Amino acid sequence: MALALATVAVGSMATAQDALHPAAQCAAFWYGYSDYAKVSAYLDTDPSDAQAAEAFRKVALRLAERDAEVDSYIAAQRPLMTRLMESYIYGGDTQSRDIFERLSAICEDFAERHPETRDLK
């Protein structure tokens, strides 16, 4: 399972050079995190996670100007991100942890450069 998530997540990062990455990837990441928090005994639900997801989505929409493509990409990636969280947080999978850490760093760096995401926690 983790290998499939790694292939999808890393493959998406390596091939998408427009606003679908990292903005839409980060939106899916935070939506997935928020979704997992809602069902996990290990995380508390935090409204700021969904707000972060929406902020990254707004950046992707602004940069790409292809609303349907952005939303389709996020919708496809969101459940994969939820499973990534489960594999990492519940399953303790090291490969999922590595992807989580890489995506976290990418999203944090990207957030600093855009007004919609600059003030995220």
Tens-place pLDDT, residues 64-86: 878 899 999 999 999 999 999 99
Output the pLDDT for position 23.
95
Domain count, the chain: 1
User: Which residues are CB-neighbours of 111 under 8 A, at least 6 positions away?
Assistant: 26, 55, 56, 117, 118, 120
pLDDT digits (tens, 9 = 90+) for 38-53: 999 988 999 999 999 9
* Domain presence at residue 60: yes
* Domain presence at residue 45: no
The more confidently predicted of residues 99 and 2 is: 99
* Domain presence at residue 83: yes
Output the pLDDT for position 9.
52
Mean confidence (pLDDT) of the chain: 86
- Reply yes or no on whether the pLDDT at 17 is more than 90: no
* Domain presence at residue 37: no
Range of the domain at 74: 1-10+50-121
Q: Are 119 and 25 in contact (CB under 8 A)?
A: no
